[in-house]
Amino acid sequence: MPRTTPTADAPDLSSRTPRLPVVARSVGAAAALLLDGIRPDRPDEAFRSSLPDAGLPEPSAAVTLTAFAQVARPVPTFAIVRGVRKPARVLSSMTSFLVRHPSATFLIDPAICDGVRDRVLPQLPQPMRAVVTPPADVISVTGSLDDLGIPPEDIDFALPTHLHWDHVAGLVDLPQIPIRTSRAEWEWAMGTARAPLGVVRRPLENRAVTLYELDGPPVLTFERSHDLFGDGSVVLVDMAGHTPGSVGVLLHLGEGDWALMAGDAVWHLLQVEKVRPTASFPGRLTDADRAGAMRTLRRLAALDGRIAIVPTHDPDAAARYLRR
């Protein structure tokens, strides 16, 4: 088939993940889902109790955090939290966040663009596309900015926790906004002929990119960090596992109040409470390294509720940051 030049509404399918291996992996993951309830992971108390805690940064500045209102839908708990059936359902959403620092305003996980079903989803292979397609009334990032009266020109950059499609697709409507991501994540997402499963390259291509390294000291239970502004108010911490360059974004909200934006390290706080990974289906498709994801989960659980953890897809965790 001749290669065609991508146009605004005809994405370049040559970077699409090949379908057959995805179907094979999906069958394996779906079979594993049946065993989730009878073969739960053993708690690794040795790893958890051996984790040093380097404590919080000493910030000299603070930021404000705003969660964009989003449609939440109930999903079966067993499809989110491995082996857990009570409560029967939990809420899931695709929340985006706005952070204002004294010297910059940025978006964490700009999730959804207008018309995402036609403009981004076609690059995802089936059956993943069917599983992750958002409801028709999902709210785009530009729609949220409009609702809040924030001009897109106010946004200085985007800071995704990782580069899966549903954490960057909103950038399709914001072509002028640069992106900041870890070198490991960028090389994983963009450095191969075919996009890794869950990555859609269209929101990332033809865009200014600044790469950072996690070259800073341990923070809390995380081994590496990067202080974005050098003032302890926005500190990225290593949450590799879900993807190779996944980070958590630790925000100082002032007066000893902190929030740890956890991306997809967990999909719901119930996972931290019960120390359970994401369900085998779709977790085996979406986690690049299941063992690494489990270690990151244990690092989150070892925080013992000292700071607020905000998974991108948990609307209850994000609710306190909605602008009312």
Minimum distance between the CB of residue 242 and Zn ion, rounded to whole angstroms? 6
Q: Which is nearer to Zn ion, 264 or 314 (CB)?
A: 264
Number of neighbouring beta carbons within 10 Å of residue 323: 12
**Cα–Cα distance between 214 and 249 in angstroms, integer?**
12
SS3 readout for the chain? CCCCCCECCECCHHHCCCHHHHHHHHHHHHHHHHHCCCCCCCCCHHHHHCCCCCCCCCCCCCCEEEECCCCCEEEEHHHCECCCCCCCEEEECCCCEEEEECCEEEEECCCCCCCHHHHCHHHCCCCHHHHHCCCCCCCCHHHHHHHHCCCHHHCCEECCCCCCHHHCHHHHHCCCCCEEEEHHHHHHHHCCCCCCCCCCCCCCCCCCEEEECCCECCECCECCEEECCCCCCEEEEECCCCCCCCEEEEEEEECCEEEEEEECCCCCHHHHHHCCCECHHHHHHHCCCHHHHHHHHHHHHCCCCCCEEEECCCHHHHHHHECC
Minimum distance between the CB of residue 312 and Zn ion, rounded to whole angstroms? 8
Q: Which is nearer to Zn ion, 36 or 264 (CB)?
A: 264
Minimum distance between the CB of residue 24 and Zn ion, rounded to whole angstroms? 21
Q: What residues line the site for Zn ion (CB under 5 A)? A: 164, 264
Tokens (6 digits) for 251:
């925000």
Long-range contacts of residues 236-239, Cβ cutoff 8 Å, at least 24 apart: 236/182, 236/212, 238/214, 239/161, 239/263, 239/265, 239/296, 239/299
Q: Which is nearer to Zn ion, 259 or 262 (CB)?
A: 262
**Cα–Cα distance between 314 and 322 in angstroms, integer?**
13
Q: Which is nearer to Zn ion, 36 or 185 (CB)?
A: 185
Q: Which is nearer to Zn ion, 59 or 160 (CB)?
A: 160
Q: Which is nearer to Zn ion, 156 or 187 (CB)?
A: 187
Q: Which is nearer to Zn ion, 56 or 132 (CB)?
A: 132
Q: Which is nearer to Zn ion, 109 or 231 (CB)?
A: 109
Q: Which is nearer to Zn ion, 164 or 252 (CB)?
A: 164
Minimum distance between the CB of residue 185 and Zn ion, rounded to whole angstroms? 11
CB 14 within 8 A of CB 4: no
